[in-house]
Amino acid sequence: MKVLLTTTSFQDTPGVHQDLLYRQGFDIDTLRGPILEAELLPIIQNYDAVICGDDEYTAAVIKKGAQGKLRYLCKYGVGLDRIDLKAAKQYNVPVTNCPAVNQVSVSEHVLALLFTFEKNIHVQHNSVQSGSWKRWVGNEIQGKTIGIIGLGAVGKELAKKSSALGMKVLGFDLYKDEIFLSKYDEVTFVDSLDIIFEQADVISLHLPHTAKTENLISREVIFNKLKRNPIIINTARGMLVDSIALIEGLKEKKIRAYLTDVLAHEPILDGEILRGVDNIVITPHVGSRTYQSVQRQGSMAVNNLLNLIKIES
């Protein structure tokens, strides 16, 4: 079996996930993703399976693959928004992902971004490295209200951690998980995003990118609905935010800061408009990139492939 491995986290992190994959006897090629449609179209038909990151599996790519050898698509990670699931079903290419394995790592990254900004860690570090002893005044997060949009695995984990740090937690989701909410009654479930926009000091995004969620943080939201000059944190997808409106909102002090681990285009482009803007902190999509999380996700991705092979055999 010929397998293409494109997720860089999997490749760059030694551990049990690599051992599991390489002892299967597959013929493995590696590319460093995310891989675009134009790069996949000439090669996808040569592979029986792909263990992928956020590559561009459009209908054209899946059709070309299915006309060749492609039988399995196994996503390393949770989000499937870069895979045309309708096309995969049409061409009988099963798709798997790795839900509920990165919530600890990503929720910790949200808090790391928040602490970094509120305690001025990034600017203080750079200042000291230049030989300065200038001291900024920071802020505490205890007592602040965090609004979590999307109470999936990551959102729930962040809710628990935020509450433990003394924050008031508001959570919104299309699905109300009564079992979780009864166990963690310190989390207040709201049925309207407007409540979060009006009451939250910090807004954290945990949604997939869909037609409905694109530009969820829009010009209308920024200039007409946000009431507390909040910090917005995004460890989900860059397309959830209107970047141009966001920059204007920062300049007009409608938003205190934008802390993000994701961009609309990754890797970062030379002309990325969010780069170099005051009160924007960007990390290079590393929220789930811990040794522990990579090994969990990688092992699940490989086991998903092995289970698909077993089903067919």
Dihedral sign for Cα 35, 105, 78, 266, please.
negative
Please tell me the distance from the alpha carbon of residue 206 to that of residue 5, in angstroms, as a whole number: 26
Sheet holding 72-75, edge to edge: 27-30, 2-5, 49-52, 72-75, 95-96
Catalytic annotation present for 118: no
Q: Which of 37, 39, 266, 272 is catalytic?
A: 266
Please tell me the distance from the alpha carbon of residue 299 to that of residue 15, in angstroms, as a whole number: 9
Q: Which of 209, 228, 237, 296 is catalytic?
A: 237
Catalytic annotation present for 285: yes
Catalytic annotation present for 237: yes
Q: Which of 17, 206, 285, 289 is catalytic?
A: 285
- Residues annotated as part of the active site: 237, 266, 285
